[in-house]
Every structure is written in structure tokens, then in C-alpha cells.
Amino acid sequence: MSPHVSYFKHDRPSRVDVAAKKKADAEKVWRDVRKLVDQRDGKQCRCCDKRSDPEATGLLTRGHRHHVVYRSAGGADTIDNLVTLCAQCHSDEHHSKLRIEGNPEVSLTFFRKDEAGEWFTVREEVAVRVVRRD
């Protein structure tokens, strides 16, 4: 037997290679979804229309791609579950001062809490970035 003959199959990728490829594929999908969300929302907060840059480094100037249905609650990293929010609206949402209902691809309604703890509508989109005016 030749000393250079291997008993391992080298035609199959290792578990490490498979995991690395899976991670790289997931990153590409996430980049593509982020690009679509940025294009759809025009890099503006869908709640207050503040211009923001999701790629900025400062937490207060950066826009946030927010999951309408949290990932922890089964929400997906898809364009119909992500909405661009400015830093302030994103913080308000996570501190239960802002609530978002709907599908970012169809229509959204934004609610805020008043001093008495009652919710009221602050913005209602009838289509993507088309606001209902009463």
C-alpha cells in the first residue's frame, strides 16, 4: 500500500466547511433583505419620516431595521416583517411607548401611549409610505 493513500473521503466537505457555507449563505440572504428594506423605506423612519442611515455607526443617527413580529416570537428576517425606524422610534417601540401593527409590504398603523397609558393612532399607512390624511 502506498503511504500517500488516504482512508478518508475528501470529496465531501467537512462539518466546519458546511457550517461556514451555511453561515455565508445566510449572511448573503440577510444582506439582500436589508437592501430591499432600505429601498422600500427610502432609508426613512416609517413612523416619523426622519431620514436615517441604517449603515451609520452612531446609535442615535443610525436607522434600525425593526422586526414587526420579534424573532423571539417567531418573526422571520423577511421583507414583510422588517420596517425601518429611527433610533428614537425604535427605542420607544422596545420600551412599550410605540406599537406597530400590520405588514410593512402592505400597510402599517403606528400607535403611541399618552400620559394616561391609552393608545392612540399617530400614523396610518394605507399603502407603503402612503399616509391616510383625515
pLDDT tens-place string over residues 74-116: 999 999 999 999 999 999 999 999 999 999 999 999 999 999 9
Instruction: Please state, in angstroms and rounded to a whole number, the distance separating the CA atoms of residues 85 and 104.
Output: 12
Q: Residue 110 contacts by C-beta under 8 Å, 6 or more apart in sequence?
A: 46, 47, 98, 99, 100, 121, 122, 123, 124
**Cell numbers found for residue 98:** 410605540
Express each pLDDT in 13-38 by its tens digit: 889 888 998 899 889 999 999 999 99
Instruction: Please state, in angstroms and rounded to a whole number, the distance separating the CA atoms of residues 26 and 102.
Output: 26
Q: What is the pTM of this model?
A: 0.80
